[in-house]
Amino acid sequence: MLYILTMTLMFGTAMVSRKNKLIGAGGMAVLAYLAGAADPYTTTDYQVYFNHYNIMGLEVSPFEKGYTQLAMLFLNHGMSYAQFRVFFSFLAFLIMYLGVIQFTSNVALYTGLYGVTFFCNDATQIRNLMMISLVLLGAGLLIKPNKYLKLMGIFVFLISTQFHDLGFIFLLIIPLTLIPGAKLKRLIKPLVSLLVLLAGIIVILGKSRIANLMSLFLGKFSSRVDSTTSVTSHFARGISKSSAIEVIVVVLSMVLLAWLFSRIFTIKLKQDIVFYTKFKVLTIGLSISLLTIILIFMSPDYSRISRNASLFMLVLLSLLTEKSEIRLSKNSLASVMIVSIVLFCNTFVNSTIWGSTYTDSIPYILQIKKS
């Protein structure tokens, strides 16, 4: 009931006001509580984190140093895993909030969209939640004109890699922001063609070479002790071609939406440099999802890249809604329908790809059902 009321409030607020940081913050606090107080018996990753938390210091932690050191701090002060998880979740959502408000004041819409799309994934994969929250904050600092804030943004990006290795992929945002927008736009088509070609090569020749290259990279830079083993086993376990194609279609649909938005808002992008800078960084963040095209054939775990990148689309939608005049018309209703269909498909694919154990846990994460 709390979840349903919160989502209703978020979308209702977004319809009547586009400056809603405070109400949006309240909505994020509810999501933080739901993620932190997740049911230990029905949340799929809960027991894994619980077990490792309770034997930290007695084993070599399988997690990245950022997560491990923070967990050790709480454990050494006599805190239970449940207490640590609540703190960790609220901290991650605070960071996410600080990242979102760098781009838009329409936080309620973002919170509502996130709550009905990818929230349950991140409530399950809690390290991923912290990583993508830090990435959003890092991206938000990159748009600032102050060079010290930009440097802080780069530092925040680096910290994200200490909570999940996939943070390394989002480091690409940093150099890409230095390339002029017009040139980036011209690169999209040949880049997609190249990635599709590489995906075909991986399917034909196998995934072992890519896995070995990634293992070599993570062996040098990752703070996770077993990162190379994780890549060669868990992150190279294969995926059905039908599931891989579903993910690729969703990725291309999201990138196509961003391209359509750039055409619709061409005049505003030319007139408003602040809006242009925000739009550029958000579309770069979303475009990182294109890497999923070549990696998804290795393992369903790489669908996280497109899911994480999709949060940039949610921020972009909130920004565009804040800046544009919304009128009831056939065109606006058609746009809402298209966006809704793409987001629904994205959510559906990123839910079913994890199997029935995860999808069955969703009502319990949202506390619609009790175990």
Q: Which residues pair with 56 in a beta bridge?
A: 59
Highest mean pLDDT among 16-20, 150-154, 200-204, 213-217: 150-154
Note the pLDDT of residue 88. 97
Ranking 186-190, 234-238, 280-284 by mean pLDDT, the lowest is: 234-238
Cβ(239)–Cβ(283) below 8 Å? no
CB-CB neighbours of 70 under 10 Å:
18
* Mean pLDDT calculated for residue range 297-318: 88
Q: How large is the greatest C-alpha to C-alpha distance in the chain, in angstroms?
A: 63
What distance in Å separates the CA atoms of residue 28 and residue 140, rounded to the nearest whole number? Answer: 18
Band the pLDDT of 262: cuts 50, 70, 90: confident
Cβ(336)–Cβ(15) below 8 Å? no
Q: What is the mean pLDDT of the chain?
A: 85
Crossing angle of the two packed helices 126-142 and 273-287, in degrees rounded to 10: 150
| Identity of the amino acid at 282 | L
115 SS3 class: helix
Note the pLDDT of residue 201. 66
164 SS3 class: coil
Band the pLDDT of 151: cuts 50, 70, 90: very high
Q: Which residue has the tokens 């440097």?
A: 151
The pair phi, psi for residue 59, each rounded to 5°, is -140, 165
Percent of the chain with pLDDT over 90: 53
Q: Which residues pair with 59 in a beta bridge?
A: 56
56 SS3 class: strand
Note the pLDDT of residue 235. 47
What distance in Å separates the CA atoms of residue 193 and residue 320, rounded to the nearest whole number? Answer: 28
| Identity of the amino acid at 345 | C
Highest mean pLDDT among 84-98, 205-219, 272-286: 84-98
Ranking 13-27, 199-213, 305-319, 343-357 by mean pLDDT, the lowest is: 199-213
* Mean pLDDT calculated for residue range 179-201: 76
